[in-house]
Structure 1
Amino acid sequence: MAQLQKSIDKRTALLKATLQLVNSGGIQGASMAKIAKAASISPATIYLFFSSKQELLNQLYLSVKSSFTQAAFVNYAEDISLEKRFKTIWHQMVHYKLKHPEEASFLSQCDNTPMIDDQTRQEGLLFLAPLFDLWKEGISKGVIKNSSPYLLYAHSIYPMAFLMNINSKDLCTADENILNESFQMAWDSIKA
């Protein structure tokens, strides 16, 4: 049991070190040697867990995406209006990003670069199924615009990355008033 925990701890340390290095120096700055050093693990040990840097990045992406979506859908209830359900999801996503700026930055980088392979990106989208289901329901009821989920995401969720970026640079404080106004703009962009 102790050996299993040690193995889990090493893998976790590698993922955390990769997250920090990618955020501070970009994907190119996160060499396997630097990751090993930051995780206090020998470089050869990395390959016991991950066959390549690409696999390490893909696994980190799935881990962060899973954590993000678990936070987004916690206490998700289907017995309230579509707008209130979307508002709950949207606010929980924002609060996750505010509480986990490193993870939010990493996900934002993943959206803008090809560092995550297509198969892994598609797997990550599966975590968002409750949101896509909500949109399908909204479209069928005429509450949400009849548009692709990618366009709905682009106009209602993706702007969060920009909001988090300007918040982190102290250009606009993401207080409750700003978040409520931002949500309203997101909702207005997708409602029918």
Structure 2
Amino acid sequence: MNIQLTEKKEQIFRSTLQLVNAGGFHGSPMSKIAKEAEVAVGSIYHYFPSKDDLIIELYWYCKEIINKHIFLEEQDNLPYDQRFRAVWKNVVLFYQDHADLFSFMEQFYGSPFYEDIRKNVFQHKCERNKIFHFLEQGLEEKHLKDLHVRILLAAYLGPAISLVRSSLYEKTKIEESQLDQLVDIIWNGVKK
């Protein structure tokens, strides 16, 4: 039973992701999502009480996929500065290769859906936000300047997002040397 539930939810997530990327949140009614996912509308409401719940759960589903690809076990034992660089590069390369997830996350972060999650992340230190905790670890271990974690997040992810965005819009691949140069600039700006 759980396997079917997971498969059906994933079908719904994939269809929602595709529709939101094509038509935005408002252009993706539950009826259209159900049709695209090839499930009954009632099935969607069985798993998600509302469209808002579906969108928020899709966000967390995407975050888990992203975290799985950017926090690699083989990099866990690297010194913090090397891991800082590796995780950052993983973010850029993952988003460059997964434009659908990047597009959804861009829309989500610019929407009212993100407001409650943002409050949760900063007020309750949500355990699902691995980058947040990775940067907190850097602060606690005195690898990073004593800055508010929100500032560190902006310094860490802002350039990555900007680089990915320009690469996707220009339809160009980011060169390894560009990745190294930019992550060095970031590290030199935030290291203690």
TM-score, with normalisation over the residues of structure 1? 0.85
Unaligned runs of 5+ in 1: none
Unaligned runs of 5+ in 2: none
C-alpha separation between the residues in 2 aligned to 1:71 and 1:28?
Answer: 29
Matches within 5 A, 1:117-132: 118-119=116-117, 122=120, 125-129=126-130, 131-132=131-132
C-alpha separation between the residues in 2 aligned to 1:188 and 1:36?
Answer: 48
How many aligned positions are there? 189
Matches within 5 A, 1:161-180: 161-170=161-170, 173-180=173-180
CA root-mean-square deviation? 2.4
Shift in Å, 1:76: 5.3
Matched, 1:8 2:11: no
Query: Residue deviations 1:128-153, cap 9 Å, x none?
Result: 34x44543454355541111111101
Query: Residue deviations 1:36-64, cap 9 Å, x none?
Result: 11111222221111110011011101111
C-alpha separation between the residues in 2 aligned to 1:112 and 1:125?
Answer: 19
Partner residue of 1:95? 93
C-alpha separation between the residues in 2 aligned to 1:54 and 1:152?
Answer: 29
One-letter amino acid matched to 1:115: F
Q: Which shows bigger deviation, 90-99 or 138-147? A: 138-147
Residues 138 and 55 of structure 1: is their aligned pair in 2 closer, same or farther, counting only changes over 3 Å? closer
C-alpha separation between the residues in 1 aligned to 2:2 and 2:141?
Answer: 49
Partner residue of 2:187? 187
TM-score, with normalisation over the residues of structure 2? 0.85
The answer as to whether partners of 2:92 and 2:160 remain within 8 angstroms in 1 is yes
C-alpha separation between the residues in 1 aligned to 2:158 and 2:96?
Answer: 15
The answer as to whether partners of 2:88 and 2:160 remain within 8 angstroms in 1 is no
Residue 105 of structure 2 is aligned with which of 107, 110, 114?
107
Shift in Å, 1:26: 1.0
